[in-house]
Structure 1
Amino acid sequence: MAYDTPVHRPQRPTGWRRLIARSPLLLFRAGLGWVFGGRLLLLHHTGRLTGLDRRVVLEVVAHGPDGDSWIIASGFGPGADWFRNLRARPKTVVQVGTRHHAVTAHFLTPEEGAGIMARYAPRHPRLARRLCAYMGVPVDGGEASFREAGRAIPFVRLDAHTGPRPR
C-alpha cells in the first residue's frame, strides 16, 4: 500500500532518548500497564526474519465502539519493524492495562487514516502537531492539513477475537 504524501522518516532514538522511549515497556513487564489507562498498549509481534518474540509499546489513537479494537499509528512509517512484522504475521497478542487480547491486524487505507487523524487532532492537538512535525509533515492546525498528514501516516486496526491465542 502506497501513501500519498512522501514524508521524512525519523531516525530511531538512541542513548538516553531510547531509554526514555522504552520505559513504558518496563512498566508493562512489571505488571503496571494499568497506569496508562488504555492510552498505551503492549504489542507482541514475531520477528519476520528471526522468528523471535518482540514487544513494543504504542499509543492507542482510537478505540472500537465496543472496546474490542484499537487503532495505532506507525510514527516511523511503513518501515517500522513492528509494522513490517505485523504485515508478515497479522495474528498476535496485545496487552491493554493488565489484560491480554488475541488480535488480528488490519492495515487501513490512506483515506481511512485521513479520517482518523482528523478526529484525533481536535482531541489531542499537541500530540497531533508533534507527531506531524516528527514525521516532517507540515500542518497549519486546520482539519485539511491533519487529513493530509493522516494520508501519510500508516494506521493499523487491531481487532480482538475469541479462541486460542496465537504464538
Structure 2
Amino acid sequence: MAAEPQQPATGTHDGVRRPEPLTGWQRAVARLPIHAYRLGLGPLFGNRLLLLVHTGRRSGAPRRVVIEVVAHDPEHRTWTVASGFGPRAQWYQNLRHTPRATIQTGRRYRAVTAHFLSPEEGGEVMAAYAPRHPRAARVLCGYMGFETDGTTESFRAAGRRIPFVRLKECDQAERWRDDAQP
C-alpha cells in the first residue's frame, strides 16, 4: 500500500501557498513592536501599524499582535488590515470567535468591532493599496504565494484571496451598553 504524499512544509489550502507561522528568533524579532507599544513608543510607527488586543478563543486571555494598516478612514473611524498568514493566523481566528477588540494607534486606545470583508471587497482594498505602497503590496503577495505582474487587476485578483478585516471603532453608546451587560 502506497503512502499518501504529505503536505509541503509551507502548507497549501485551496491551491494557495500559505506561509508557516514564525518560530524561534524570527518570532521574537516579529514581536519586538509589541514591546515598543508597551514602552509608549507607538507613535514611532505612525499610522502604518496598530497594536491589536484581542481575546484568545481558547484561553479567553488578552492577546496582542502588531499588524500593518492597509487602509484607514478617519471619517468612518475604520482601519482595514490583512492577514498575511491567511485565515490560519491566530489573531484572525480569535477575531472570528470574538469580534470585539481594542486597538492602539500611537498612544490612543480605541474599542473596535471586526468586520470580515468579502473577496470582492478585499480585491478592491488591495487594488487601492498597491499604487500607494507598491513595494509592500508586492512583498505581501509574494509572501503569500500570489503572482502579480504589477497591474491593478493582478493585485485585485490577489486581494480576493487575502483575508481582510475592517476594524470599526465603537461609538460611546455601544461601549456603555456592553459595559452594562452582566
TM range (shorter): over 0.9
The amino acid of 1:155's aligned partner reads F
Match of 1:33 in 2: 42
Map 1:43-58 onto structure 2 (within 5 A).
43-58=52-67
The equivalent position to 2:25 in structure 1, one of 10, 16, 19, is 16
- Deviation of residue 67 (structure 1)? 6.1
Kindly name which structure, 1 or 2, has the bigger radius of gyration based on alpha carbons: 2
Q: Contact 1:76 / 1:135 at 8 angstroms: preserved in 2? A: yes
Greater RCO (Cα-Cα under 8 Å, separation 6 or more): 1
Q: Contact 1:118 / 1:150 at 8 angstroms: preserved in 2? A: yes
The amino acid of 1:148's aligned partner reads A
SS in structure 2 of the partner of residue 63 of structure 1: strand
Consecutive aligned runs of 4 or more in structure 1 exceeding 4 Å deviation = none
The equivalent position to 2:99 in structure 1, one of 90, 93, 98, is 90
Mean alpha-carbon deviation: is it higher for 129-138 or for 62-71? 62-71
Map 1:1-167 onto structure 2 (within 5 A).
6-66=15-75, 68-163=77-172, 164=175
The amino acid of 1:64's aligned partner reads D
- Deviation of residue 25 (structure 1)? 0.7
Superposed CA deviations along residues 44-82 of structure 1, whole A, max 9, x for unmatched, are 111111111100000000011416110000000011110
Mean alpha-carbon deviation: is it higher for 5-14 or for 117-126? 5-14
Q: Contact 1:111 / 1:151 at 8 angstroms: preserved in 2? A: yes
Gaps of 5+ in 2: 1-13
Superposed CA deviations along residues 63-109 of structure 1, whole A, max 9, x for unmatched, are 11416110000000011110010011111111011000000100000
SS in structure 2 of the partner of residue 10 of structure 1: coil
Q: Contact 1:6 / 1:152 at 8 angstroms: preserved in 2? A: no
SS in structure 2 of the partner of residue 118 of structure 1: helix
Q: What is the TM-score of this pair, normalised by structure 2?
A: 0.85
Structure 1 CA distance for aligned equivalents of residues 122 and 97 of structure 2: 21
SS in structure 1 of the partner of residue 143 of structure 2: helix
Q: State the superposition RMSD in angstroms.
A: 1.6
Structure 1 CA distance for aligned equivalents of residues 16 and 107 of structure 2: 35
SS in structure 1 of the partner of residue 17 of structure 2: coil
- What fraction of aligned residue pairs are identical, expressed as a percent? 57
Gaps of 5+ in 1: none
Aligned residues: 163
Q: What is the TM-score of this pair, normalised by structure 1?
A: 0.92
